[in-house]
Chains A and B, each alone.
Chain A
Amino acid sequence: MVKARVLIRPKEGILDPQGKAVERALPALGFEGIGHVHVGRMVELEAEDPARLDELCEKLLANPLIEDYEIQTL
């Protein structure tokens, strides 16, 4: 049994209004010098067969047209 964490982020170049909104709110809260904020998703799971994780990501967890993913085995 493998524990994995999948990070899904918007592809570079695609407008990420959530990331922008968070970035813009930071100075008012007292945080300076923070940029390039992107907001994505995180999925945690346990898999009997880690070999199929890429396929799971490509087919369901991420939309390859608009998102990149990264699998971290824990």
Chain B
Amino acid sequence: MIWGVLQFPGSCDERDALHACAVASGEPARLVWHESRDLGGLDAVLVPGGFSYGDYLRAGAIARFSPAMEAVAEFAAAGGPVLGICNGFQVLCEAGLLPGALLRNAELRFVCRQAELIDERGGERLSIPMKHGEGRYYAPEAMLDELETGGQVAYRYAEGHNANGSVRDIAGVRNAAGNVLGLMPHPEHAVDPLTGSTDGLKVFEAMARVAA
């Protein structure tokens, strides 16, 4: 599976994501510059973490208008797997490819720590780091109920691990079609036993099943 990782001015985690994609898929991944619409040869797209456009105005608000994101929207509409991590999750929500929005952490501080997540599909517990200042997931109650019944809540923070105040402990959501996934914690920082856990690989495996 060939991954493409978007790169905006201000992206931080794109190189780590590139490496993680290659480790997870066993094949080299490539960067997609924000001005390019060329997703040729890609089986999946990753919108990475960072501070695209400095998070100015709102996180992800400017990046969503890039040519690359327009191409990603078409790719997603055609069923292509798209993974948005942290700032990437914010971009996908701003672009309307995922429901809800990400707000400033309830405690108003950036928080970087290892978090335990529950994979809602199997109940499995994953240890994946979170690091963000605007990671509080929000959606209106009615929308949340729809997400729950539709099985669109992909990951939740385990008890005691919701450090940003996300509503209903939601850490990650899918679109209705199930091919677009966004989560705030960073699976790309959990693929190497030397630097932490390797549970991040399970998120990539879940995306690979979408592509199959």
Contact = CB atoms under 8 A, between A and B. Distances in A.
Complex contact flag A–B (Cβ < 8 Å) = yes
Interface stretch (B14-22, B23-31, B96-104): B96-104
Interface stretch (A12-20, A28-36, A46-54): A12-20
Classify the secondary structure of B's interface with A. loop
A63 B165 contact: no
B107 A17 contact: yes
B177 interface: no
Contacts of B65: 60
A61 interface: yes
Interface residues of B, number: 19
A21 B105 CA distance: 12
Contacts of A21: 108
B108 A66 contact: no
A21 B138 CA distance: 19
Interface string A31-74: 00000000001000000000000000000110101100000000
Interface of A: 14-15, 17-18, 21, 41, 60-61, 63, 65-66
